[in-house]
Amino acid sequence: MTTTNHATAAYLGLAIGDALGSTVEFMTPREIAAKYGCHDKLIGGGWLHLKPGQVTDDTTMSLALGTSILALGKVDALAAAQAFDDWMRAKPVDIGNTVRRNLLQFRKTGNPEAPYSDHDAGNGAAMRVLPVALATVGQAEAVVRAACRAQAHTTHHCKLSDAACECLILMVQAALLGADKNHLLHTYAHPLAAQHPEFKFRATKQSSNPSGYIVDTIQAVFQSFFDTDDFRSCLIDVVNRGGDADTTGAIAGMLAGATYGLEEIPDAWLKVLNTQTRQSCEMQAASLIQIAQR
Ligand code: MN
Ligand code: MN
């Protein structure tokens, strides 16, 4: 394996999971089964009326963040907040409530750190951690943690969101450096649940209809990721649970891509993914890991 291959697969996995899940976002598993049987194609549609292969905020916020990191050569809170604010001004297809509220606050105050709130425990910061994971891979844990928080706190300043963001970043980085799924389970996923019992996912019955609450999101993603053995099965499993399916798809796609590499991504999905999105993901993946190596 090469790090570039798996970094690129993580970014394409994020985008493909987003595009695949957006078709069934806010549907229940029963509604999905009635309409599609098993939903496994990039056909667009959904409540946002997307084109096949079109992505949503999960991917476009990640790309906005990645652009700001590449421009500066490092992760920076103010640059990230500015990039997200510019992204919001460009009228994205969707935007989370917590993201909007705290970016409007940033416009007023110029402070890139949102006020602490236990209520801001949505998945909006976790869905866009990938550029930070790539730009800090192999660096000291204190550096990784600071970069993780600088990014996340622009919109979500909350201990459960922080714990999830940090866990996802460390998992992606370990996967890029060759760790297998068993290692990711025991070194990162179980310790997250040990530290914050809300996240226990083995004790939870098969998660269905996961909400945008970071705990629901992580439980669905971890169940799908750890209970399947390839990229395609993982994504199909997680999006057919419905709920916030574009975001569970994006996060699961990122983990599965980082773990399994490019060879595992089905051509049928890669061909339909929006061409400009695909090129941006490929370019950013390669460039961001060079920042980490400098
Ligand atoms: Mn979305
Ligand atoms: Mn979503």
Q: What is the CATH number of the domain that holds 183?
A: 1.10.4080.10
Distance in Å, CA 48 to ligand 2 centroid: 11
Distance in Å, CA 24 to ligand 2 centroid: 10
And the tokens for 120?
């801001």
Give the ligand at the shortest distance from the Cα of 220. 2
Residues forming a β-bridge with 213: 122
Distance in Å, CA 94 to ligand 1 centroid: 6
Nearest Cα neighbor of 29 from 219, 233, 243, 227 is: 243
Mean pLDDT across 177-182 = 96
DSSP alpha helix (H) spans, the chain: 3-22, 29-36, 57-72, 77-89, 97-109, 130-135, 141-152, 159-176, 181-184, 190-195, 214-226, 231-239, 245-260, 267-272, 275-293
Give the ligand at the shortest distance from the Cα of 19. 1
Distance in Å, CA 291 to ligand 2 centroid: 29
The share of the chain scoring above pLDDT 90, in percent, equals 96
Nearby residues of 38 by Cβ (< 8 Å), 6 or more positions away: 236, 240
Distance in Å, CA 23 to ligand 2 centroid: 11
- How many whole angstroms from its chain centre is CA 81? 18
Nearby residues of 136 by Cβ (< 8 Å), 6 or more positions away: 75, 143, 144, 147, 169, 173, 292
Distance in Å, CA 140 to ligand 2 centroid: 31
Instruction: Check pLDDT > 80 for residue 1.
Output: no
Mean pLDDT across 271-291 = 98
Nearest Cα neighbor of 39 from 51, 16, 21, 17 is: 21
Distance in Å, CA 259 to ligand 2 centroid: 23
Give the ligand at the shortest distance from the Cα of 94. 1
Distance CA 132, CA 124 (A): 14
Integer distance in angstroms from the first to the last C-alpha of the chain?
21
Residue 207 confidence (pLDDT): 83
Q: Which tens digits make up the pLDDT trace of 24-68?
A: 999 999 999 999 999 999 999 999 999 999 999 999 999 999 999
Distance CA 191, CA 35 (A): 38
Distance CA 93, CA 115 (A): 26
Mean pLDDT across 59-82 = 98
Domain span holding position 271: 3-293
Residue 95 confidence (pLDDT): 97
Distance in Å, CA 96 to ligand 2 centroid: 8
Average pLDDT for the chain:
97
Q: Which tens digits make up the pLDDT trace of 154-171?
A: 999 999 999 999 999 999
Residue 232 confidence (pLDDT): 98
The count of domains in the chain is 1
Distance in Å, CA 25 to ligand 2 centroid: 7
Residue 144 confidence (pLDDT): 98
Q: How does residue 204 score in pLDDT terms, banded at 50, 70 and 90? A: confident
Distance in Å, CA 245 to ligand 2 centroid: 6
Distance in Å, CA 58 to ligand 1 centroid: 5
Q: How does residue 293 score in pLDDT terms, banded at 50, 70 and 90? A: confident
Distance in Å, CA 135 to ligand 1 centroid: 23
Nearby residues of 168 by Cβ (< 8 Å), 6 or more positions away: 126, 129, 133, 251, 254, 255
Long-range contacts of 217-220 (CB under 8 A, 24+ apart): 217/123, 217/126, 217/164, 217/244, 217/247, 217/248, 217/251, 218/123, 218/126, 218/164, 218/167, 218/192, 218/251, 220/248
Give the ligand at the shortest distance from the Cα of 244. 2
Q: How does residue 120 score in pLDDT terms, banded at 50, 70 and 90? A: very high
Residue 205 confidence (pLDDT): 78
Q: pTM to 2 decimals?
A: 0.98
